[in-house]
Structure 1
Amino acid sequence: MKNVAISCSLLFLLFFGQANAQTYAENGMVVSDHVIASQVGVDILKKGGNAIDAAIATAFALEVTHPEAGNIGGGGFIVFLKANGEVTTFDFREKAPLAASPTMFLGENGKIKDNSNHKGLLAVGVPGTVAGLYQAHQKYGKLPWADLVKPSVELAENGFMMSWGLYNAAVNVTDQDPSEDIMINYFKGANGEIVKPGETWKQPALAKTLKEIQKHGRDGFYKGWVAQEIEDYMKAKGGIITKADLEKYEAVERKPLKGTFNGYDIYSMPPPSSGGVALIEMMNLMEEANISEIEFNSTAYVHLVAEAMRRAFADRAKHLGDPDFNPDMPVDRLLSKDFAKMRYENIDLTKASISDPSKFGHPYDGSSTTHFSVVDKEGNAISLTYTLENSYGVKMGSDKLGFIFNNEMGDFNPVPGETTTGGQIGTDPNMIAPEKRMLSSMTPVIVAKDGKPYLVIGSPGGRTIINTVFQTVLNVLAYDMRVDRAIEAMKIHHQWLPDRILYERNLLSPDTRDALIKMGHTLTPTTNIGVLMGITFDASKKLYTGAADSSSEDGGARGY
């Protein structure tokens, strides 16, 4: 069987980094967390596939090349802007198993037992990725399903060159979790050692699973021997997911959320993603503030952005959850310009607000996922974010299947009724229930101008996703930054509780930091916030520009 071809330029990029910050193309583009996966997607476009086809092929390739977050053991969301200007979304968020209950993670003292909502197989939600990709293909795909899964089968079976970025991650995760079953040998070759950079890493068990999906589509994962092995593995290791859970799982096509900002249309995911609601609410606040007249990265800018985040996250905590279990969520109100005006009137531009866990927003009322972006020559655009929750999810999985399970059950509110200053939320909309989808922060976004894609963007990062994407959209629309600079610009994060601003060390000036502290803010430094993958379109030049966040060691844009 032939080896998967990797060009000399691709080899160069894998070892020495991206050749340039931006990539240009006229016919189509894919930007993802691994250049091999991006190239797989572009190859599908060249063969006549559309953006949906390329997204499916890229997603499966990331399962092989970016196992930290690329997945068939997790779930996510697609925002799809069609060439005719219509927009739809696909929700393939994981679900709670049938045997789940609101107090399943609590001990006799009513507290979370042994971090069980994040660690161990009770933390695994019913995976949705394969179902979501298959549903999108059945409705909008152009090329045969088998052709889209084939590249990932070949990558897993024949192997691909281990990069330094993946190798460093492999060493770290193996050292950190020596007791977990699949991780012990996950990155090891025939000699029993972790595959080194420049050597070929093969995944035969994963190749076998992918072949089943290639041959049988959705049923290749949710029925048959793969589903049986998932059930057997869960029973043996203390999990509760069964074949009945898998057979009942369905992805959902949902109407997108739509907002506007200075003449641009902003499309994102509705609940169970909280990202779209929060982002549009914050963009409305920025429009109310006329943010473009406030100097970027100034004290006034950071303060205003943090206060907008505080309010959006308070609303998120109080109101949002799975819409199939919460039909009366006030989403339209949260998205309205009138609501933003009321919120803005209660922002003090001279001092920080207080985040009170007992009152949510009322005092001012009136680490792993991956994202990729795709566009094709017809003007179809895809913004897709999917996740395992933590880096490498629950770090468990069957050696016979070769993939890692998510630990998404940790995104439910774990202790009913208990909301703390440390950030634990206990509100009803996101309580655990059988077959319920847990609230998500994933924020795939497409900004359109005159019905055409203008910006396609998204990021990993847990709850920071919402704010990372928000600031990048703001950078492009309000400050006219080109996409690579918007991605690399300084980011902050405030999520209501805990009451603090997280900021990127060395990118916020000491003077601004000191001024914010005097205004009453608490600041905490971090190394990096977000790993953005974005595409912009210049209608006058008919030119796509793609950029991958420099913090993604193997990420890159590919176009033609």
Structure 2
Amino acid sequence: MPPWFAPSVALLAVATGPSSAEEFATYAVVSQESHASDVGREVLRKGGNAIDSAVATAFALAVTHPAAGNIGGGGFIVAFVADRGEVVTYDFRERAPRAATERTYLSPEGRLLPRYRAGLWAGGVPGTVRGLALAHEQLGTLDWAELVRPAVDLAERGFPVSDTLARSLNAQLFVDDGAADLLDGSGRGARLADFPASVAAFRKPDGTPWVEGDVLRQPDLAATLSRVAEDGPDAFYAGEIADRIAEAMRAGGGLISEEDLESYEAVRRAPVHGTFRGFDVFGMGPPSSGGIVTVLMLNLLERFDLAADGPEDPETLHRITEAMRRAFFVRATEIADPDFVDVPVDELTSKDFADELAGSIGPIATPSEDLADFPIAGLVAEGTDTTHLSVLDGDGNAVALTYTLEQGYGSKAVVPGLGFLLNNEMGDFNLVPGVTSTSGLIGTRPNVIAPGKRMLSSMSPTIVLEDGKVRLVTGSPGGRTIPNTVLWVVLNVLEFGRSPREAVDAPRSHHSWFPDRLTLEGDSWPEAAIQGLRDRGHRVRSTPLQGDAHSIVVDPGTGIIHGVNDRRRSTSKASGG
């Protein structure tokens, strides 16, 4: 196997990096990629606020982290406005095209077709540009063009690729069909190499594999971003860019039309709010499940003294697993796009609701099937290549921003002439209505496809306040593991008293109702903990890596800002001043 081949970015070795969190006095930006973090820091140096910095960082990631950074996808923002003491959230999740139906990805016999995995037909209407623009319009201070231009420069002049990015691109551009199956299980059609416009955008000019230090230039993307910078977000949703997207859709069998693009709107929504040990926890509401699931798990766990036993005790892990199991059952049965489904957010995040659920937590594992009152059959998993960034400015404003293309490199299809990848988010709908399986396929009705509907998400940008000031800003990629990664970071800081670096580096666990198994990250868990879990009836498995939680932790005593890049990915960086 060639030395530049890597089966998956997620399987790369845990990255090296600073042995402790970076400490800053005034502000910090933490993201997946160093160039992007530096762009965000420069915005803060120039007097921009946290939203300005987050917008600039997100646009830069669309250039330097193409597997997940994007203008062809969507996501969520949770922002704390310090002078108002208010948390606001923005939903720029993708929407189903008007031509989509709940049977779009089913054969006439009702069999799930693989076309949701890759290609232009897999994409929802992108929301990133509208979402960043809405947040900037309402909360930003610097000129819009000034925030987009650094990304234009990075795309036009290029930047030296890291070893991680070189391996990732090579895996997409050079592997054969058999090796492609290793990437994400999608087989043919799941590589950049299968789409000429993607090859043109990401192949080296001489056609050889990428190596660390090579300069990646993206002139088509630079031109697209330049239009967005100079003409504003409308340039993406109408005019030449929108026409080219729609033209590519018609040519490639996709569903997105000019009308879909022109009518897309980002939405400001009410945050999800809960409390844990006296701290205020704020997250994203539906169509993200992250806020509800995280708050519900914390509500369930607040009744236990987890710190007394410690994070590696089997009883602690049992209780955390049972909280995850119940919260993900609620996710599957209650949460979807609130414009289409009535989601009882206040009830689901209440202490009384947690009291009801907690009564079913016993000394042994609850079979997941026992929670459901509908038939369970005999896998459609969310993509793990999302990305998260955290920002805190000198005035105490904070932003947690998580956005995605879904799978790594999304649909794998670059829109010809525009230089950006489109998402494959349609796979986040429940694609086989009425069929929920023990392997993880969810078919509950709230999240089936409907025209204009936003698909359910696990993204969990989260801000924790203590006495009205920022204590923690966090979030992660990882598909359905995201809320559980966020839960572990929150517990590590607030419950177990771990240092900021320890809180992010510590191993994590995951349970998502179905499949009914508990995964433990890494190989550092005590054997007594693993055996204790098995004795309690849990089906325990291991996983190499879980999540990528770039976080900011503020010391309430000293005011020191700890920027904590997650060293599970080698290109991440905390940048600040």
TM, length-normalised to structure 2: 0.91
Distance 1:191 1:208 in 2: 22
Deviation at 1:412, TM superposition (A): 0.4
Identify if the C-alpha distance between structure 1 residues 102 and 402 changes in structure 2 by more than 3 Å, giving closer, same or farther: same
Are positions 1:200 and 2:186 aligned together? no
Judge conservation of contact 2:121–2:249 (CA < 8 Å) in 1.
Answer: no
Distance 1:266 1:233 in 2: 42
- 1:398 deviation in Å? 2.0
Q: CA deviation at 1:360?
A: 5.5
- The amino acid across from 1:104 in the alignment is T
Per the alignment, residue 355 of structure 1 pairs with 368
1:6 match: none
2:482 counterpart residue number: 465
CA contact (8 A) 2:329 2:371 kept: no
Query: Which amino acid is 1:99 matched to?
Result: A
Q: Quick one: distance in 2 between partners of 1:353 and 1:253? A: 38
Q: 2:551, 2:242 → 1: CA distance?
A: 35
2:311 aligns with one of 262, 271, 296 = 296
The correspondence of residues 89-238 of structure 1 with structure 2, limited to 5 A, is 89-113=89-113, 115-174=114-173, 175=175, 176=180, 177=191, 178-238=193-253
Matched to 1:274, the amino acid is S
SS in 2 for 1:76: strand
Aligned residue for 1:463, secondary structure, equals helix
* Structure 1 range deviating more: 353-362 or 80-89: 353-362
Residue 404 of structure 1: aligned partner: 421
The letter for the 2-side match of 1:419 is T
Report the Cα offset of residue 411 of structure 1.
0.5
Give matches, 1:22-61, under 5 Å: 22-61=21-60
CA distance in 2: counterparts of 1:468 and 1:283, whole angstroms: 13
Task: Quote the Cα distance in structure 2 between the aligned partners of 1:378 and 1:358.
Answer: 46
The answer to whether residue 555 in structure 2 is matched with residue 549 in structure 1 is no
1:480 positional shift = 1.1
Q: How well do the aligned residues superpose, as a CA RMSD in angstroms?
A: 1.6
Query: Relative to structure 1, is the Cα distance of residues 235 and 266 closer, same or farther in structure 2, using a 3 angstrom cutoff?
Result: same
Q: What corresponds to 1:274 in structure 2? A: 289
Does the 8 A contact of 1:278 with 1:316 survive in 2? yes
Unaligned runs of 5+ in 1: 1-15
Contact 1:318 1:360 in 2 (8 A): no
- Assess, with a 3 A threshold, how the Cα gap between structure 1 residues 472 and 229 changes in structure 2: closer, same or farther: same
Whether 2:264 is the aligned partner of 1:249: answer yes
Tell me the distance in 2 between the aligned counterparts of 1:358 and 1:513: 24
User: Cα offset for 1:191?
Assistant: 1.6
Residues 393-449 of structure 1, C-alpha deviation per residue, up to 9 Å, x if partnerless?
A: 110122311111111110000011111111111111111001100000000000001
Contact 1:187 1:194 in 2 (8 A): no
Preserved CA contact (<8 Å) 2:388 2:477:
yes
- Alignment partner for residue 519 of structure 1, among 519, 529, 536? 536
Q: Render the CA deviation track for 1:170-199: whole Å, top value 9, x for unaligned.
A: 111222323233343433232222442112
Aligned-partner Cα distance in 1 for 2:355–2:166:
49
Q: Is the 8 A contact 2:507 2:522 kept in 1?
A: no
- Aligned 8 A contact 1:76 1:92 in 2: yes
Q: Would you say the 8 A contact 1:125–1:409 is kept in 2?
A: yes
TM-aligned CA deviation for residue 358 of structure 1: 8.0
Cα deviation for residue 511 of structure 1 reads 2.5
Give the whole-Å Cα distance in 2 for the aligned partners of 1:165 and 1:360: 45
Matches of 1:444 and 1:218 in 2, distance apart?
23
> 2:372 matched to 1:336?
no
Taking the aligned partners of 2:20 and 2:195, their CA distance within structure 1 comes to: 38
179-188 or 534-543, larger mean C-alpha shift: 179-188
Q: C-alpha distance in 2, partners of 1:228/1:21?
A: 48
- 1:479 maps to which residue? 496
Distance in 1 (CA, whole Å) between partners of 2:297 and 2:52 is: 33
In the alignment, what sits opposite 1:86?
A: 86
For 1:382, what is the secondary structure of its paired residue?
strand
- Of 243-252 and 422-431, deviating more is 422-431
| Alpha-carbon distance in 2 for matches of 1:149, 1:316 | 36
Contact 1:60 1:152 (8 Å CA) reproduced: yes
SS in 1 for 2:116: coil
Partner amino acid for 1:108?
Answer: P
| Alignment of 1:425 onto 2:442 | yes
Summarize the Cα distance change of 1:18–1:107 in structure 2 as closer, same or farther, 3 Å threshold: same
5 Å-filtered alignment, 1:65-80, equals 65-80=64-79
Distance 1:361 1:313, change over 3 A: farther
Q: Which residue of 2 aligns with 1:5?
A: none
Classify 1:47/1:361 alpha carbon distance in 2 versus 1 (closer, same or farther; 3 Å): farther
Give the 3-state SS of the residue equivalent to 1:371 in structure 2. Answer: strand
CA contact (8 A) 1:422 1:498 kept: yes
Cα distance in structure 1, aligned partners of 2:20 and 2:111: 47
Deviations 1:217-245 (A, max 9, x none): 11121011110110111111110101100
Distance 2:354 2:290 in 1: 16
Q: What SS does the corresponding residue of 2:479 show, helix, strand or coil? A: coil
Alignment of 1:383-398 (within 5 A): 383-398=400-415
Among 451, 456, 464, the alignment partner of 1:447 is 464
Cα distance in 2 for partners of 1:148, 1:169 equals: 28
Instruction: Look up the SS of the partner of 1:370 in the other structure.
Output: strand
**Aligned residues: percent identity?**
46
SS in 2 for 1:474: helix
Distance 2:450 2:370 in 1: 24
Mapped partners of 1:403, 1:224: distance in 2: 17
SS of structure 1 residue aligned to 2:400 = strand
- Residue correspondence of structure 1 range 499-510 to structure 2 within 5 A: 499-510=516-527
Partner of 2:386: 369
Measure, in 2, the Cα distance between the counterparts of 1:357 and 1:385. 33
- Whole-Å separation in 1 of the counterparts to 2:500 and 2:232: 36
Describe the SS at the equivalent of 2:115.
coil
Which residue identity is paired with 2:306? I
Question: 1:23·1:557 contact (CA, 8 Å) conserved in 2?
Answer: yes
**For 1:442 and 1:28, how far apart are their aligned partners in 2?**
24
Q: Distance in 2 between matches of 1:422 and 1:519?
A: 21
1:302 aligned partner, one-letter code: L
Is this contact kept in 2: 1:273–1:443, CA < 8 A? yes
Task: Determine if contact 2:473/2:553 at 8 Å carries over to the other structure.
Answer: yes
CA displacement at 1:345 relative to structure 2: 1.9
Note closer, same or farther for the CA distance 1:418–1:146 as it changes in structure 2 (3 Å cut): same
Q: Distance in 2 between matches of 1:191 and 1:300?
A: 57
Q: Deviations over 1:27-56 (max 9, x none)?
A: 211000001100000000000100000000
Residue 357 (structure 1) shift: 7.7
Q: Which moved more, 1:528-537 or 1:335-344?
A: 335-344
Return 332-341 or 233-242, whichever deviates more.
332-341
Query: SS state of the match for residue 302, structure 2?
Result: helix
User: 1:523 deviation in Å?
Assistant: 1.4
Question: Contact 1:314/1:360 (CA < 8 Å) preserved in 2?
Answer: no
Corresponding letter in the other structure for 1:443: S
Q: 2:310 touches 2:496 (CA, 8 Å); kept in 1?
A: no
1:341–1:293 Cα change, 3 Å: farther
SS state of the match for residue 325, structure 2?
Answer: helix
Which 5+ residue runs of structure 2 have no aligned equivalent? 1-14, 181-190, 377-383
Matched position secondary structure for 1:356: helix
Report how far residue 17 of structure 1 moved. 4.7
Give distance in 2, aligned partners of 1:399 and 1:362: 45
Judge conservation of contact 1:357–1:497 (CA < 8 Å) in 2: no
Aligned counterparts of 2:211 and 2:237: Cα–Cα separation in 1: 34
CA distance in 2, matches of 1:262, 1:227: 48
